[in-house]
Amino acid sequence: MTSAAGDAGQTADRAARRRWRLPLPPVRTEAPGRWLDLASLAITAGLLALLARDLIVLLPHLDPAKIAVDYHLYMDATARFFGGGGYYLPDQLHGPYDVVPGHILYPPLFTLVVAPFLVLPALAWWVLPVAAVAFVTWRLRPRITAWPGIALCLWFPGTTVMLVAGNPTMLIVAALALAARWSWPGVLVLLKPSLLPFALLGIRSRGWWVALGVLALLGLPFGAMWLDYARVLLDARQPLGPFYNLGQVPTMLLPVIAWAGRRR
C-alpha cells in the first residue's frame, strides 16, 4: 500500500508540474540554404543586369564589319574546299606565319561540321548551338547556387564577342553541352584541340569511344590534308602559343557549371 501511495503521489506531482509549466516560445531558425539561394538569386540578377547594360551600350556602336565575320570566313573556306580549292590560306603552308583574322586553325574534318550550314539559313548558325545549350541547361535543372556561375559565363565579354562574330566555338560549346546530357557528343570538342580537356567530360561512356571511332573513320578520306593541318599548327606564331583560346574557356565552362550543379 505504501509503495502504491508513493507512486500515486509522484504521478500527481509530475502532473502538477506539467500543469503549471509555461510553454517556451518557438525558436525561429532560418535555414542557411534559404539565405544562400536568396544570395544566389541576387547575384544572378545583378550579372544579368550588367549583361543587359553592356549590350545596350555596345550594340549601337558596333562596327558592322565585325558582325558575323567568322561565320562568313568559315562559310567561304568550306565552300572553297568543296569547290576544289584549298581549305587553308597559302601563307599558312609556307613556313612560320603570324596568325591574323582570316587564318583557319581547325582540322580538315571540321568542313563536315560546317557543310550543312552551306544550305541552311544563315540564322541557323546561331540558333542551333544557342538552342542546344539552353535546352540542355533546362534539362539539367541546375540548383540555384549554380546560377551565378552560369550568369557570369554569359556576362563574360568573350561570350558576346563569340556570338556577334559567329565564331565556330559556339558549335563546340553546344557539343559540350550535349555531352553533359548524352556523353558521346563531347568527342566533337576534339575538333578544337586547344580546348581538348573539355572533351573528356563523357570519356567514361562507351558511346564516347564509339563516337571517337566514327570520327577517326570520317577523317581518313582527308589523307594528306592532315599533314597540312599539322604544318598550319606548328608554323603558327601568336603571343599565347597553344593557349590562344584561353579567352574562350569561360564560355566553355557554362555547360560544365550547369552539369556540376545539376539536381541529382
63 close to 161: Cβ distance less than 8 angstroms: no
Identify whether 23 is part of a domain.
no
Sign of the torsion angle spanned by Cα atoms 133, 59, 115, 219: negative
- Cell (9 digits) for 114: 560546317
Say how far apart CA 261 and CA 146 lie, in whole Å. 5
Say how far apart CA 115 and CA 118 lie, in whole Å. 5
Neighbours of 22 (CB within 10 A): 5
* The amino acid at 71: Y
Identify whether 57 is part of a domain.
yes
Identify whether 1 is part of a domain.
no
Identify whether 183 is part of a domain.
yes
Q: pLDDT tens string for the chain (264 positions)? A: 445 555 555 555 555 455 545 454 554 545 567 888 899 999 999 999 999 998 888 878 777 878 999 999 999 999 999 998 899 999 899 889 888 888 899 999 999 999 999 999 999 999 999 999 999 999 999 999 999 999 999 999 889 989 999 999 999 999 999 999 899 999 999 999 889 899 998 898 999 999 999 999 999 999 999 999 999 988 988 766 666 677 889 999 999 999 999 886
Identify whether 123 is part of a domain.
yes
Q: Find the farthest-apart pair of alpha carbons in the chain and give their distance in angstroms, rounded.
A: 114
Residue with cell 561540321: 113
Report the SS3 class of residue 99.
coil
Identify whether 10 is part of a domain.
no
**pLDDT value of position 15:** 53
Question: Containing domain of residue 111, as a range?
Answer: 43-260
**pLDDT value of position 24:** 47
3-class SS shares of the chain: helix, strand, coil, % to 5: 75, 0, 25
**pLDDT value of position 7:** 54
| Domain tally, the chain | 1
* pTM for this prediction: 0.82
262 close to 140: Cβ distance less than 8 angstroms: yes
Identify whether 89 is part of a domain.
yes
Identify whether 17 is part of a domain.
no
**pLDDT value of position 37:** 86
212 close to 218: Cβ distance less than 8 angstroms: no
